[in-house]
Each structure stands twice: as structure tokens, then as C-alpha cells.
């Protein structure tokens, strides 16, 4: 295999592992147990989308006084 392709694959894999770790850490900080936090890390794209929808409530305007 081409060394450049292998290097790019390793970089992508490292970034994915980092995102999984950050998601699992976020799950623990939100009060989840260890196993649910690890599962959240495994499915991090879905987890981030759910957290965004729950936390930000997109499409709703904030009324200010």
C-alpha cells in the first residue's frame, strides 16, 4: 500500500478516537454511568446530534426583555 494512504488513514483514525473520547467524557460530565458514556462515545455522531437538539433547541427564537 501507498505510505501516504496509510498515514492519512492513521490520522483519520486518531481523530475519530479523539472524538469518541471527548463524547464519552461529555457523557460522564452529564451524569451518565461509565457504560452509557462509552456507548455514547461509540455512536458519537448520533450522540452529538441528540445533545444539540436537546440543548440548543434549533429553530426557536429567544425573546429578550
Would you kindly state where each structural domain of the chain is located, as residue ranges?
3-56
Could you tell me the pTM of the whole model?
Answer: 0.61
| pLDDT in the model for residue 14 | 92
Entry field: residues in the chain: 65
Contact at 8 Å (CB) between 44 and 20? yes
Distances (CA, A) of 64 to 21, 40, 57, 61: 37, 34, 16, 9
| pLDDT at residue 59 in the model | 61
Other CB atoms within a 10 A radius of the CB of residue 1 amount to: 6
* DSSP alpha helix (H) spans, the chain: 3-29, 34-42, 44-56
User: How do the pLDDT tens digits run along the chain, 65 residues long?
Assistant: 799 999 999 999 999 888 888 888 888 888 888 888 888 888 888 887 887 777 766 566 656 66
Amino acid at each position: 500500500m501507498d505510505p501516504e494512504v496509510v498515514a492519512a488513514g492513521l490520522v483519520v483514525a486518531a481523530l475519530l478516537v479523539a472524538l469518541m473520547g471527548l463524547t464519552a467524557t461529555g457523557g460522564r460530565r452529564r451524569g451518565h454511568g461509565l457504560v452509557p458514556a462509552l456507548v455514547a462515545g461509540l455512536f458519537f455522531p448520533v450522540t452529538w446530534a441528540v445533545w444539540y437538539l436537546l440543548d440548543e433547541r434549533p429553530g426557536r427564537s429567544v425573546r429578550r426583555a
